[in-house]
């Protein structure tokens, strides 16, 4: 049940392989969607095997490529966490960040990127939705149907060996995906790896809540961590070395 990294945007895209099914997590740009298609095609994997596309949270750099992946994989289902339904129904809005938080949080993420021009171009051709800025955060998906059915304690379609874990803090709807059999965690933007050994994300809506989420995740046996930004961290002995 390996996890495959697909690079092609400001956030990492992951393919979870579970049996004969694949699930795409955090397809942030149209380029990431196209690279996902190329990755599977080169391995002669039927496109119908990509069952679901989902996200660790409702931010543009994690969901901007969903329209493109829906186009490339016509049978795919778009499944978000249950809390995203409030955004889509207009009952809630994604949280905003202060200017100081923007500078402290985004610069370390964007600076290490190898090709800003390509990433920016990919973002411009991607879905303009879920931008945490005034007057823009209300932009909603318009050309695909989303199911908000994923929640903690419930099985994930096409992923029998994985579970969703609520991890609010970066955003209220932030989640992680965890496999106890693989001891693997897809941490989204809760835990990043911009410095080499992992760090709790300081770019967050609620610092106290994200620390509680980190404590919750620290109780899990984790050997492999796949962050939303930065390189994956293999061969861990839990999250003890992650900076808080």
Task: Compute the distance between CA of residue 164 and CA of residue 242 in angstroms, rounded to an integer.
Answer: 21
Contact 196, 223 (CB under 8 A): no
What string of pLDDT tens digits covers the 244 residues of the chain? Answer: 699 999 867 799 999 999 999 999 999 999 899 999 999 999 999 999 999 999 999 999 999 999 999 999 999 999 999 999 999 998 999 998 877 777 666 666 666 665 656 666 666 667 888 888 888 888 888 789 999 999 999 999 999 999 999 999 999 999 999 999 999 999 999 999 988 889 999 889 999 999 999 999 999 999 999 999 999 999 999 898 787 8
Buried b (16+ CB within 10 A) or exposed e, 119-140: beebbeebbebbbbeeeebeee
User: CB 159: neighbour CB atoms within 10 A?
Assistant: 24
Dihedrals φ, ψ of 130, to 5°? 60, 50
Question: What count of Cα atoms within 13 Å lies in the side-chain half-sphere of residue 77?
Answer: 15
- Residue 132: what pLDDT? 84
3-state secondary structure of 108: helix
Chain segment 221-240, per-residue pLDDT in tens: 999 999 999 999 999 998 98
CB 26, CB 126: distance < 8 Å: no
Domain 3-227 adopts which CATH fold? Metallo-beta-lactamase; Chain A (3.60.15)
79 forms beta bridges with 147
% of the chain surpassing 90 pLDDT = 69
Of 29, 178, 196, 195, whose CA–CA distance to 187 is shortest? 178
How far apart, in whole angstroms, are the C-alpha atoms of residue 171 and residue 168? 6
The residues, any chain, with a CB within 8 Å of residue 105's CB and separated by 6 or more, are 97, 201, 202, 203, 204
Please, which residues bridge with residue 147 across strands? 79
Torsion of CA 39, 43, 46, 50, to 10 degrees: -40
Instruction: Write down the pLDDT at residue 84.
Output: 97
**What is the model's pTM?**
0.94
Contact 69, 14 (CB under 8 A): no
Q: Which two tokens stand for residue 24?
A: 């795409």
DSSP at 49 = G
């Amino acid at each position: 049940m390996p996890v495959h990294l697909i690079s092609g945007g400001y956030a990492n895209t992951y393919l979870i392989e579970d049996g004969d099914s694949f699930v795409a997590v955090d397809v942030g740009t149209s380029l990431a969607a196209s690279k996902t298609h190329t990755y599977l095609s080169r391995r002669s994997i039927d496109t119908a095997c990509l069952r679901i596309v989902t996200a660790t949270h409702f931010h543009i750099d994690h969901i901007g490529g969903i329209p493109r992946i829906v186009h490339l994989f016509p049978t795919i289902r778009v499944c978000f966490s249950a809390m995203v339904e409030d955004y889509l129904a207009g009952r809630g809005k994604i949280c905003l960040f202060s200017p100081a938080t923007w500078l402290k949080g985004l610069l370390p993420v964007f600076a290490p990127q190898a090709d800003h021009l390509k990433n920016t171009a990919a973002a411009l051709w991607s879905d303009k939705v879920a931008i945490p800025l005034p007057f823009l955060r209300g932009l909603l998906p318009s050309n695909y149907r989303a199911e908000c059915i994923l929640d903690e304690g419930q099985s994930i379609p096409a992923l029998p060996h994985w579970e969703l874990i609520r991890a609010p803090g970066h955003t209220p709807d932030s989640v992680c995906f965890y496999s106890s059999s693989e001891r693997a965690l897809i941490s989204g933007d809760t835990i990043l790896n911009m410095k080499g050994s992992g760090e709790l994300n300081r770019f967050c809506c609620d610092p106290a809540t994200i620390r509680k989420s980190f404590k919750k995740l620290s109780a899990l046996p984790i050997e492999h961590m796949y962050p939303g930004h930065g390189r994956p961290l293999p061969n861990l002995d839990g999250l003890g070395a992650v900076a808080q």
